[in-house]
Amino acid sequence: MRIYLSRFMLVFYLLLALAPQWLEEFAKFPALMAHYQIHRQDNPATTLSEFLSQHYGKDYAEHCNQHDHTKLPGKAKHHDSCMHMNVTGDSVMPFYADLLATPHSWEEPKNSSVFQHDQNPCAAHLSGIWQPPRA
């Protein structure tokens, strides 16, 4: 019984995670059929396989500029799942533009390390309670 419940929960979780995208694309199915009817009115000999080839196959490059295809399933640009930005220093941080333009010295200043060379970083913890057992 537990294996069936675990499988059900796995499928249920995956469907919930992917459902918003699927439901949105599935809701566009009537637009696909209406667009197919438009193609059938223009050319009654158009079959469903030819229509799908024109819109989802190798013939799409020739056909893409003839109609508006953004309402068809899989053709709209989804901006909610991925975002691309062209970012430059001047556009994002204009008040840091002068800082970005000035040359910087990347030399390490003297005595900049947290621990001095003669100091053991574990020395503070050696006197604490967490010590290895003594023989």
Angle between helix axes 48-56 and 29-42 (nearest 10 degrees) is: 110
Mean pLDDT of 114-134: 62
Q: What is the pLDDT of residue 84?
A: 47
Whether this model's pTM surpasses 0.95 = no
Tell which wins on pLDDT, 92 or 108.
108
In a domain, 9, yes or no: yes
8: left (phi over 0), alpha (psi -120 to 50) or beta: alpha
Q: Where in the sequence is the domain holding 53, given as residue range(s)?
A: 2-63
In a domain, 14, yes or no: yes
74: left (phi over 0), alpha (psi -120 to 50) or beta: left
In a domain, 39, yes or no: yes
In a domain, 78, yes or no: no
In a domain, 101, yes or no: no
**What are the angstrom distances between the C-alpha of 113 and each of 5, 18, 49, 92, 108?**
56, 50, 70, 33, 9
In a domain, 75, yes or no: no
In a domain, 11, yes or no: yes
Q: What is the pLDDT of residue 32?
A: 80
Q: How many domains does the chain have?
A: 1
Q: What is the pLDDT of residue 117?
A: 52
Q: pLDDT for 54-102, tens place per residue?
A: 777 776 666 666 777 777 777 766 545 444 445 554 455 555 555 556 6
In a domain, 42, yes or no: yes
